[in-house]
Amino acid sequence: GAVVSQHPSRVICKSGTSVKIECRSLDFQATTMFWYRQFPKQSLMLMATSNEGSKATYEQGVEKDKFLINHASLTLSTLTVTSAHPEDSSFYICSARGQAYEKLFFGSGTQLSVL
């Protein structure tokens, strides 16, 4: 089956630094990618939807200048958390969909801890 690879799986950074998370579709072309965040004991919250080659569509309340999303190719999307603060600490998950598939494939998630 299709595989989505997400890296890093865990990152610890200092407050004020930026962190980049990569999401790759390994064996299919991902026309659409989704980024979610999840706090402990809560459900996944959709942050943004990105289509290859176009700007991401952000959900209400998600700062686009804070969470930079780039989907420059059909196999790679990146989420950059800029000037991270402790309240940005969360579990970030990407998912991808290709033209040939109806379902989403999810990455394994990135646990971000901002000190």
Give contact residues for other proteins (rule: CB under 8 A).
4, 6, 32, 34, 36, 43-46, 49, 91, 93, 95, 97, 102-109, 111
CB of 41 to other proteins, least distance (A): 10
Of 15 and 26, the one with the shorter C-beta distance to other proteins is: 26
CB of 49 to other proteins, least distance (A): 6
Residue whose C-alpha is closest to residue 2's, from 110, 103, 109, 73? 103
| Strands 57-58 and 19-25, sheet pairing | unpaired
CB of 98 to other proteins, least distance (A): 13
